[in-house]
Structure 1
Amino acid sequence: MLIRPAVPEDFPSLRAIEARGGEAFRAVGMPEIADDEPMPPAVLASLRVWVLVDPEPVAWVAVAVVDGGAHVEQVCTAPERAGERLGAALLDHVGAWARGEGLAAVTLTTFRDVPWNAPYYRRLGFAEVAEPGPGLRELVAREASHGLDPAARVVMARAV
Structure 2
Amino acid sequence: MSDFSIRLARPEDAEGFHRVEEDAAALLREEPSLAGIPVPPSTSAEDYRRTIAAGQCLAAAVGDEVVGFAAAGRIGRELHLHELSVARAHQRKHIGSTLLRALKIDAANSGLRAITLNTYRDIPWNGPFYARHGFVEVENFEGRPHLAQSLEDAVALGMPRDRRCAMICFLD
Normalised by the length of structure 1, the TM-score is 0.89
Q: Tell me the residue number matched to 2:16.
A: 13
1:75 to 67, 74, 84: 84
Distance across 2 between alignment mates of 1:13 and 1:94: 18
SS where residue 89 of structure 1 aligns? helix
Q: Which amino acid in structure 2 is aligned with residue 73 of structure 1?
A: H
1:110 Cα deviation after fit: 0.3
Gaps of 5+ in 1: none
Partner of 2:98: 89
The DSSP-based 3-state class of the residue aligned with 2:119 is strand
How far 1:37 sits from its partner (Å)? 2.5
Match of 1:127 in 2: 136
- Candidates 9, 24, 27, aligned match of 1:24: 27
Amino acid at match of 1:87: G
Task: Report if the CA contact (8 A) 1:67-1:136 is conserved.
Answer: no
Q: Which residue of 1 aligns with 2:116?
A: 107
Q: 1:30-45 residue pairs with structure 2 within 5 A?
A: 30=34, 32-33=38-39, 36-45=40-49
2: CA distance, partners of 1:131 / 1:46: 30
The aligned amino acid for 2:157 is: H
Q: For 1:53-97, what per-residue CA distance to the aligned partner results, in whole angstroms no more than 9, with x for missing partners?
A: 121211101001235311100000011111111111111111111
How far residue 45 of structure 1 moved from its aligned partner, in angstroms, is 2.1
SS at match of 1:139: helix
- Taking a change above 3 Å as real, the CA distance of residues 67 and 113 of structure 1, as seen in their structure-2 partners, is farther
CA distance in 2, matches of 1:70, 1:11: 19
CA offsets 1:1-57 (integer angstroms, 9 cap, x no match): 322222232222221111111111133233621xx4321123212223211112121
Contact 2:17 2:45 in 1 (8 A): no
What TM-score, normalized to structure 2? 0.83
Partner residue in 2 for 1:4? 7
Identity of aligned residues (%): 25
Q: In structure 2, how many angstroms separate the alpha carbons of the residues matched to 1:115 and 1:25?
A: 11
Partner of residue 61 from structure 2, selected from 48, 53, 57: 53
1:82 and 1:53 map into 2 onto residues whose CA distance is 13
Distance, in Å, in 2 between the alignment partners of 1:45 and 1:10 is 8
Per mean C-alpha deviation after superposition, the further-off stretch among 53-62 and 144-153 is 144-153
Deviates more, 1:39-48 or 1:107-116: 39-48
Q: Distance in 2 between matches of 1:143 and 1:122?
A: 20
